[in-house]
Amino acid sequence: MSLETWEEDLPALAEGISEVLVEECDPRSVHTFFDGGNDLDKALWARAAELGFLGIGLSEEFGGLGFGARGLDVLYRTLGRAMAPGAFVPTLAAAQWLEQVGPEDLNASLLPEVVAGERTFAVPFALDGEGVALNDGRLGGTTPLMLTSRDATTAVLSVKREGAAAFALVDLAGVGFVANDIWDHTRLVGRYTLDNAEPLAVIDDVDGTAAATLRSNVALGIAGDCVGGARAIADQTIEYLKQREQFGRLLASMQALKHRCAELMRAVLEGEQALDQGVEATALGNPAAHMWASLAKALAAEKFFFVADDCLQLHGGVGFTWEFDAHIFLKRALLNRELSGNNAFHRDLAARHLAEADLAGVSTAELTT
């Protein structure tokens, strides 16, 4: 797809997704979902499938729209702005990973089901080396912590097969699950208990490429969620300061608060720029794409926490009340710091990629076409 096509279609796509989320995922609905009062996650998933959003990154041969990493980034950022719950990051990151590393026959079977909204994935909370033993073609025991959803159909698990690294896709029908009690109620994490489960497929990962690709895909999804959330709560807070008065003066007119708002927007832009680099490196197949994805995740998550935390304070006492959005953004920022590996882990990983590139004589300073 040409650059001109990207420039024409992506803004329209972003606008279309935003319009749907304004209708389907308003703050009141999110707050109600946060308290367990509706099925917003399922409603959003069904709507996304109906409109074709779930195939945004996948190739047209699997029923997708063919927008790749750039299209996924548009979706992730927009979902982050709306605080949208659901299976989007684990499922779409795993589906993109399957297209990149999976065998053609497996992809032809599973990926159209993702586009149709019929298959959802659970992925490791952090690919930190912990896995499940694959013995005689069967899996048993408790999985590592997983990022999942209420209706996840398939788990992507890191496994060891005869001492070699691999990934197994496991059907979750009838599999026991214990959720972890976490502060961000828009997400679901927990562990599955496998009882002699036979994988749907096993993908070998002798050189670590599959693990690096899955980690980068999830990292970019979380980073997109972070920059979307950071911009949304920053904009919302600045509008609040323009309307709220104290001692007869608008809060937005106070010099000290103006400086804090400027710092908020600087942090938002830094996160967005880091993510732009990571997405473009991935879209172009740059050799340093994994490094840029890790840096984007670390910086975007760090800036999101800074923005969300300060916005809570700038709202004053009401920022701590349940009726305002600030606390939901902050809780999401806290969880995003840990998803796909914490920020220190990703910076260490990026440093390792940089060292490897240096030893190989590969430049990571600029994107290559």
pLDDT for the residue numbered 255: 66
- Partners of 93 in the β-ladder: none
**Contact present, 121 and 87 (Cβ < 8 Å):** yes
Calculate mean pLDDT across residues 92-119: 97
Question: What is the C-alpha to C-alpha distance for residues 214 and 119, in angstroms, rounded to an integer?
Answer: 18
pTM: 0.93
pLDDT for the residue numbered 355: 87
Which DSSP state fits 317?
A: G
How many residues does the structure list for the chain? 369
Q: Which residue has the higher pLDDT, 206 or 229?
A: 229
Q: Which residues of 116-139 are buried (b: 16+ CB within 10 A; e: fewer)?
A: ebebbbbbbbbbeeebbebeeeeb
- Helix-helix angle 88-101:209-243, to 10 degrees: 150
Q: Is the pLDDT of residue 68 over 60?
A: yes
Q: pLDDT tier at 369 (50, 70, 90 boundaries)?
A: very low
Read off the tokens for 63: 């029923």
Q: pLDDT tier at 6 (50, 70, 90 boundaries)?
A: low
pLDDT for the residue numbered 228: 97
Q: Is the pLDDT of residue 247 over 80?
A: no
Question: What is the C-alpha to C-alpha distance for residues 295 and 301, in angstroms, rounded to an integer?
Answer: 10
Calculate mean pLDDT across residues 270-292: 95
Q: pLDDT tier at 39 (50, 70, 90 boundaries)?
A: very high
Condensed to tens digits (0 to 9), the pLDDT of residues 315-334 reads 887 777 778 899 999 999 99
Q: Which residues contact 72 (CB under 8 A, 6 or more apart)?
A: 56, 57, 92, 96, 220, 221, 224
